[in-house]
Structure 1
């Protein structure tokens, strides 16, 4: 359980945060919130040039975060390349004197059934979701062991074995639960090293490119803004707790939040519950 109390502008002063998939969406929003709370930020992602469908690049995200006054750097990174992950971690640690927090946010999605899932799409989801979470955590551990407030946060769901979450998109479900299994395993493996490892998942769908391009338009309108996930992430990261699977709304309610309408894309739309939550 988290103790009550919201974050303030000094909670992450001087802490260095490495975030995968942070050019846009949830990753960028978490980066912005942490930057405003005093953290040094490492933005990573594949998008280095403007994309016709995807908003932003690692450099536009860097420039936006720099406006908060935070120290920030942008590193081009394909999380499928473990050598590149290790190199990026090394660069970040050299620039900022270490790494205190790793956020495994990068994710690939394909809501297709087994016969419609090409193996290259299967491999992409497992490489970006499971393998990259493992590889980034592995690369970060030596730096986290030197930190006074080490934490790994993985954007993955609580494991729900209701068959309905497997029948329509088996490959995607397995890949996201693989990320969640990293939380279960790493939290125990790293407990003696005092490295916290937790998961965060939104209660509703979040207005990101993944929702925009994989769901009907009405689902996007029935979503919440990434800000709610970022607020919840900071509540988790400021405390020493490990091995937990947190839901964003539940965290903020426990912190005393009562007005969730401010997070809605469209306050007139009925919110859409996210995947893996009954």
Structure 2
């Protein structure tokens, strides 16, 4: 039977183009260090405009200068516990670049102490930064994300929530579980508005945050690789590539999900 409009199977020859974020504008919190910095650099490398938010003013200025050498970036020194400062910074970024398409929440702290002993005021601070701080940026950015037609929210989770370790990071682990719940509820609310919300949950990556936590780094590397199905340490490009997917039109039909980028640690 000759093909007709009714019996031709659908094709997807152009799907690769959905990963393009060139010209889009992203806001990244925790952008001065670690995975936040890696994602900010990946976005600039992909042709996006990037608003950098972090509390570390000196390092953030250096990061801004580095990124401006490769593309368009603007930095704002912000404590994500400050609602007024967060709103002002996001408004300025939207004005600078003509809107906001992508929000990446990575800012977090991780004090180390057993839950039986940790100071409760410190726990409140961890919650305020690692969970409420995410909601502050979402509330400030949501009108721009909705108006963009390409709105994507990426909240950082962690493999630690699924594993319940390492010891001493109970408060941090609890907040990462809260981020999963927050994002799932958020996806219900914002996806009908044309904005997706997902969790990006990294495994162990060799960044500044990891160094200094373990006396024998080589032994730690071996222990991580032993637990993973993929027998190498992750690179920041692994997590950045996943972030580009969740920030792009390629993920438009994905919301309320948690993407683990952990080399298969959680099921190995």
TM-score range, shorter chain: 0.7 to 0.9
Report the TM-score when normalising by structure 1: 0.78
Q: Residue 144 and residue 14 in structure 1: after superposition, are their counterparts in 2 closer, same or farther (change >3 A)? A: same
Aligned to 1:26: 35
**Distance across 2 between alignment mates of 1:6 and 1:195:** 20
SS in 1 for 2:147: coil
Q: Residue 196 and residue 135 in structure 1: after superposition, are their counterparts in 2 closer, same or farther (change >3 A)? A: same
Show structure 1 runs of 5+ residues with no match.
50-56, 254-272
Task: Tell me which structure has the larger Cα radius of gyration.
Answer: 2
SS in 2 for 1:63: helix
What is the root-mean-square deviation of aligned Cα atoms in Å?
2.9
Show structure 2 runs of 5+ residues with no match.
1-11, 225-232
Report whether the alignment pairs 1:147 with 2:148: yes
**Distance across 2 between alignment mates of 1:209 and 1:233:** 20
- CA offsets per residue over residues 145-198 of structure 1, 9 Å max, x none? 101210000111479677x55985432221111111121111111121010101
Q: How many residues align?
A: 243
Aligned to 1:235: 245
Report whether the alignment pairs 1:245 with 2:258: yes
Aligned to 1:35: 44
Q: Residue 5 and residue 99 in structure 1: after superposition, are their counterparts in 2 closer, same or farther (change >3 A)? A: same
**Distance across 2 between alignment mates of 1:101 and 1:246:** 17
Aligned to 1:198: 198
Aligned to 2:95: 94
Cα displacement (A) at 1:80 = 1.1
Report the TM-score when normalising by structure 2: 0.81
